[in-house]
A and B are shown apart, each in its own frame.
Chain A
């Protein structure tokens, strides 16, 4: 115990005597530990943010997607049943009208599954557009989207004024719309009473549509929205129109993707499997396309697994810096031992056993690594929090990763310090004493 204390004191002394050298040596450890901590922090915060926002869309929801029929090994490549990067697969077949999921199919499915299915949430994007009431009023950017009634349920869209679309409006494709509070501020100075019932002209894709405002929905603090607008660099809010209306505008019928809102008493994973086999039967004669159904819960867990794999992989690359840093420590320890050969000889002459010489230099190496590690943790936490804030996720560096890092830097100290320390311990006392 006494020896350890003395050795720590000695190690600090020798670091203080060579401040610049010590700092440069630590730099490798600082960068290594710092980058690992930063990456872990960002990874964790992005994972939890995305998982939270996915869950907020309804953990009980099932996403049903039309996708290309693939060989088994290929099928596992496409995550979530979506294509990551649109031009990733040049041979991708485009679905035609006959392949789409139809309203009839959904109606039959609802009959087949009964109360298990609460509603369908279906959307049809029309495009980004803008609304300008008149010369005095401001302009609002909107993303025009056709929705089924289930969409409002699945996404928890709350009205502050007016009403949702009626069955009839949905059926007939009426020219009605739900406006966001943000757009209301821009267009009507926040006067919802004035807005509801009035007609506005929306320009989308160089076409103009006159829509009656049926209602105003509450501001959505959902993080997906903020992430969406961050990535898209857009202040556009959704302008909801009935699904049929959007399909008429797009000259589309049938759907490629939809969300099934599941009764809370049902097991979504089981229902997803049942829905998938239901569609397998319907699509058994379709050679190009099948329908997949995935529950949100399993998507979240797939996403979390994927994110943690990516985070670990990047952190491992950061770990390479740590190994390089460790080699730097070993190098400087060898230099230090050569410089202090006479000291080692003297200590041996004074009766230091090999073990205490070894201990002295291992402790010195551990001290370098631990100080470097501690600085690295601070740098990593600051860097990680800053980076996470920049991409709009809240970050808390985990105590676990800090403790692991400290343990790891200590292990590096032992590992890369052992060889030089052992070399010092095995020096012949006469040679060491006579060393010039």
Chain B
């Protein structure tokens, strides 16, 4: 087995600390994700999986616990370092795509590279390559509002891949899509996993989608309920 990419240990997350309605959402979660793995984190709404995703995605900090991402201690990292980590090591795919409006597909894909300080020519070449990979090269000059949901999600996936991140973090990526386009998006994840060897963490409430991955981690009430193997190789 290859090396560990994500290592969470005894992660607690509490909100409204010090107030009467203090709320503990995560009660000491521990999990590991290996390099090149395709993992699903499943749980009903309110289970704490979104909070967990925010912590894995370096958008939020745990109240307690240890988190190592690709060898970096995320607890010790300052805000500016977290920005850099989100930029270089994490590729986000959101349920609502979150493409920047008024900005065409290729510019959207270029954006993480812009923040990474990659020069223009290199950016454009890489963005074209990625749009080809997701089958969107024909529409790279289109604005998000001119694209269908599935097309937007493919652009978003290309964007997530821009800086060749250590992990792709997909939060309900098919949640807003019909089953056909949802299928296409899932196929794309499989392709990235199999052909590019990407580590993918899929957060979903759908047991069928989770089944397609290599490993399924179930979260319930802020605890890891259990994990089992999926159908993927």
Contact = CB atoms under 8 A, between A and B. Distances in A.
Interface string A392-436: 000000000000000000000000000000000000011001000
B101 A3 contact: no
Interface in A1-32: 2-3, 6, 10, 13-14, 17
Nearest to A350: B112
Given A2-B117, A430-B60, A433-B59, A353 B98 contact: no
B49 to A, nearest CB: 14
A354 interface: yes
Given A356-B115, A430-B60, A348 B98 contact: no
B83 A352 contact: yes
A296 to B, nearest CB: 64
A13 to B, nearest CB: 5
Interface stretch (A51-59, A140-148, A308-316, A339-347): A339-347
Contacts of B94: 346, 349, 433
Nearest to B81: A353
Contacts of B102: 13-14, 17
Interface string B96-122: 001111110000000110111101100
Contacts of A2: 114, 117, 119-120
Contacts of A6: 114
B83 A354 contact: yes
Contacts of B117: 2
A114 B86 CA distance: 92
A349 B84 contact: no
A17 B60 CA distance: 33
A351 interface: yes
B43 interface: no
Nearest to A16: B102
Contact of A351 (B88, B103, B119): B88
B120 A354 contact: no
Contact of B100 (A3, A347, A351): A347
B132 interface: no
B103 A13 contact: yes
B227 interface: no
Nearest to A351: B87
Nearest to B171: A433
B48 to A, nearest CB: 14
Highest count of chain A CB atoms <10 Å: which of B59, B84, B116: B59
A351 B59 contact: no
A348 B54 CA distance: 13
B152 interface: no
A427 to B, nearest CB: 12
Given A3-B114, A350-B115, A351-B115, A342 B98 contact: yes
Contacts of B189: none
A351 B114 CA distance: 10
Contacts of B115: 347, 350-353, 356
B142 to A, nearest CB: 15
Contacts of A354: 79-80, 83
Nearest to A5: B120
A2 B114 CA distance: 8
Contacts of B54: 430
Contacts of A351: 83-88, 112, 115-116, 163
Given A2-B114, A430-B54, A433-B98, A348 B120 contact: no
A345 B111 CA distance: 13
B38 interface: no
Contacts of A352: 83, 87, 115
Interface in B31-71: 54, 57, 59-60
**Could you say which interface size class chain B belongs to?**
20 to 34
A264 B179 CA distance: 101
Highest count of chain A CB atoms <10 Å: which of B83, B84, B103, B120: B83
Contacts of B112: 350-351
A6 B159 CA distance: 17
Highest count of chain A CB atoms <10 Å: which of B60, B85, B86: B86
A10 B108 CA distance: 12
A293 B1 CA distance: 104
A351 B58 CA distance: 10
A354 B117 CA distance: 15
A123 B163 CA distance: 89
A349 B79 contact: no
Nearest to B53: A430
Contact of A350 (B80, B87, B101, B120): B87
Nearest to A356: B115
A255 B75 CA distance: 94
Contacts of A17: 102
B92 interface: yes
A347 B101 CA distance: 12
Nearest to A13: B102
A352 B119 CA distance: 16
A356 B111 CA distance: 12
A352 B111 CA distance: 9
A350 B87 CA distance: 5
Contacts of B114: 2-3, 6
A348 B86 CA distance: 8
Contacts of B86: 348-351
Nearest to A342: B98
Given A342-B98, A430-B60, A350 B84 contact: no
Interface in B125-165: 159, 163
Given A353-B115, A429-B59, 5 more contacts: A2-B114, A3-B114, A348-B83, A350-B92, A352-B83
11 contacts: A13-B102, A17-B102, A343-B101, A347-B100, A349-B57, A349-B59, A349-B86, A350-B92, A350-B115, A350-B159, A354-B79
Q: List the 4 closest A-B pairs by CB distance, nearest first.
A: A351-B87, A346-B98, A353-B83, A351-B86
Interface of B: 54, 57, 59-60, 79-80, 83-88, 92, 94, 98-103, 111-112, 114-117, 119-120, 159, 163
